[in-house]
Amino acid sequence: MFARLTEDISTVFARDPAAKSKWEVLFCYAGVKALFSHRLAHRLYKNGHYFLARWLSSRCKKKTGIEIHPGATIGRRVFIDHGSGVVIGETCEIGDDVTIYQGVTLGGTGKDHGKRHPTIGNGVIVGAGAKVLGPIEIGQNVKIGAGAVVLKPVPEGCTVVGNPGRIVRRADGSRPTLDHANLPDPMLERMQQLYERLVELETALRRHACEAGCETCGQDAASCPLNHICNPKTEP
């Protein structure tokens, strides 16, 4: 337990240049406190002490602003920077060397049962305010930009930004190219709309002509057997 705490403190030094002393990290870093508390809560949870586990995690939430469900599985050398507003769901699995900034939600979409929270691979960075929702897999060393909303799995090494999250960089450094087969065609869409209006106009014209009396068959609109555009009967 205390060996892991020492490892957490070293992790902060490795990733936060602002950290000055071990005491500062131990007493002032909400993420270190939250992870320490989560380890106890997770142990209680695994042994079936659900109420005690939840009580501990809710106490930790009050003190740090970080809510980690005791059921969540968290790897080693995870760093929760600043912390406030971080929410980690029950079935979430987080790998080793992950960095999570303030305001991150690793949650469910509300549609799934059982495994409903994301699986975060080793070395992932989840930027401030990012939301990763659903039982999706985030590959190793993925970077999730601040404020991104990720709803689909992300392959290893990619960078995802925006809402909805889109890949802006792949593991090999390349940027995704356009899907030429599925490009939108605004001209075609406009022509389609014009064609549909033309059909409507023809139908209306045909109806009016038949109502006025079809010169060709002499029937009204409902019974005109030819259904063609015809001239209205001219009054004598």
Ligand X SMILES: CC(C)(COP(=O)(O)OP(=O)(O)OC[C@H]1O[C@@H](n2cnc3c(N)ncnc32)[C@H](O)[C@@H]1OP(=O)(O)O)[C@@H](O)C(=O)NCCC(=O)NCCS
Which H or E run includes 203?
A: helix 186-211
Which of the stretches 3-11, 35-43, 55-63, 122-130 binds ligand X when contact is defined by CB under 6 A? 122-130
Task: Kindly list the distances between the CA atom of residue 134 and the CA atoms of 106, 107, 138, 165, in Å, as whole numbers in the listed order.
Answer: 8, 6, 11, 13
For ligand X, the closer CB: 162 or 164: 162
Which of the stretches 47-55, 89-97, 125-133, 216-224 binds ligand X when contact is defined by CB under 6 A? 125-133
| Cis amide prior to 164 (ω within 30 degrees) | yes
Residues 61-120 that bind ligand X (CB under 6 A): 82, 101
147 near ligand X, rule: CB under 6 A: yes
Site string for ligand X, 148-187 (x = CB under 6 A): -----------x-xx-----xx------------------
120 phi and psi, to 5 degrees? -105, 125
Task: Kindly list the distances between the CA atom of residue 59 and the CA atoms of 62, 63, 81, 148, 223, in Å, as whole numbers in the listed order.
Answer: 5, 6, 19, 29, 79
Q: How far is the CB of 202 from ligand X (least distance, A)?
A: 47
Residue 76, classed as helix, strand or coil, is: coil
For ligand X, the closer CB: 174 or 223: 174
212 near ligand X, rule: CB under 6 A: no
Per the listing, tokens 């555009």 go with 229
Q: By CB under 6 A, name the one of 77, 117, 131, 143 that touches ligand X.
A: 143
Which H or E run includes 150?
A: strand 149-150
Binding site for ligand X (CB under 6 A): 82, 101, 125, 127-128, 143, 145-147, 159, 161-162, 168-169
